[in-house]
Amino acid sequence: MATRPPPVSYSTVQMSLHWLIVALVAIQFAFNDSMSRALHDAVEQGGYAMREGGMVSHAVIGGAIFVAMLTRLGLRLKRGVPPAPTTESRPVQILSRATHWAFYAVLLAMPVIGALALFLISPTLGALHSAASWVLLAIIALHVAGALHHWIKPGSEAHRRMLSAGPSDRRLD
């Protein structure tokens, strides 16, 4: 069985999922305070008040992030991803791949931990979920710094792989 060469860019679906997740994560941070408040109140009162619309929105969007990340992971495993730029040093290539895998780990774990915190009314799991949000912000900062590095680095085209599918990579897989 012949191995498929790595793609030169991300597929349209991979790119769409990337930007959808970016938007959903941004929305999650907007609802963070209402979720923390709802969990705190539930611990104090022994249950949730039905007026917690922010809590419901946060939970639904968290579920959507989980599904989108599972889909991205499936596509990554099935289709592959473009190779790391050969113009970068080996440590930078490793950091880039580690950052991407950290996104998968954190963005798949956070909805599970958040759901468990919600259903078990667990302040400990709620605190773990909140701590993970700081880890996520650090990963986002590292990722954005890398993207900016490629954007300003003369001759680098790596940042374009998430902005436009290559001619042979426009298929939907």
Per-residue pLDDT of 99-128, as tens digits, reads 999 999 999 999 999 999 999 999 999 999
Inside any domain, residue 151:
yes
Residue 82 in any domain: the answer is: yes
In a domain, 149, yes or no: yes
Q: Is residue 5 part of a domain?
A: no
- Using a pLDDT cut of 70, give the percent of the chain over it: 85
pLDDT at 113: 97
Please check whether residue 136 lies inside any domain of the structure.
yes
The pTM of the full predicted model, rounded to 2 decimals, is 0.85
Rounded alpha-carbon distances, angstroms, from residue 57 to 79, 104, 146: 32, 22, 31
Asked if 81 and 173 count as a contact pair (C-beta separation under 8 A), the reply is no
How many domains does the chain fold into?
Answer: 1
CA pair distance 130, 133, nearest whole angstrom: 5
Q: What share of the chain is helix, strand, coil (3-state, %, to 5)?
A: 75, 0, 25
| Mean pLDDT, the chain, whole residue set | 85
pLDDT tens digits, 33-82: 778 888 888 888 888 876 666 788 889 999 999 999 999 999 999 999 88
Residue 152 domain-assigned (yes or no)? yes
> What is the distance, to the nearest Å, from the Cα of residue 173 to the centroid of all Cα atoms in its chain?
19
Q: 168 pLDDT exceeds 60?
A: no
Q: Does 7 reside within a domain?
A: no
Q: Tell me if 3 is assigned to some domain.
A: no
- Boundaries of domain holding 30: 12-169
| pLDDT for 172 | 44
